[in-house]
Amino acid sequence: MSELVSRTTRGLFRYLMTGSTVGAIGAAFQDELFAPDPDSTYEDSSVRRTTTQEYLEAIDWTDINQVSRALRVFERLIQGFEPQYTSKLLNSLRRDGYTVIESTAKVVLKERGRPVDDKDDLPALVRSAQQALGLHPPSKAPGPDGSDAIKKILGSVSGIAIGLAELCNRGYGTGHGPATAPVGLGPRHAHLAVNAAFTWCRLMLATLADRRLPGARN
In this prediction, residue 118 carries a pLDDT of 75
In this prediction, residue 42 carries a pLDDT of 95
SS3 1: coil
Give how far Cα 137 sits from Cα of 83, 127, 210, 214, Å. Answer: 31, 10, 19, 17
What is the average pLDDT score of the chain?
79
In this prediction, residue 21 carries a pLDDT of 96
Q: Judge whether 162 and 122 are in contact, CB under 8 Å.
A: yes
Is the overall model pTM greater than 0.75, yes or no? no
Instruction: Tell whether the model's pLDDT for residue 105 goes beyond 50.
Output: yes
Helices (H) and strands (E) in the chain, counts: 9, 0
In this prediction, residue 209 carries a pLDDT of 80
In this prediction, residue 185 carries a pLDDT of 53
pLDDT band with cut points at 50, 70 and 90 for residue 57: very high
Instruction: Tell whether the model's pLDDT for residue 178 goes beyond 60.
Output: no
Instruction: Tell whether the model's pLDDT for residue 174 goes beyond 70.
Output: no
Q: Judge whether 88 and 12 are in contact, CB under 8 Å.
A: yes
In this prediction, residue 184 carries a pLDDT of 53
The pLDDT of 41-69, averaged and rounded, is: 92
In this prediction, residue 163 carries a pLDDT of 76
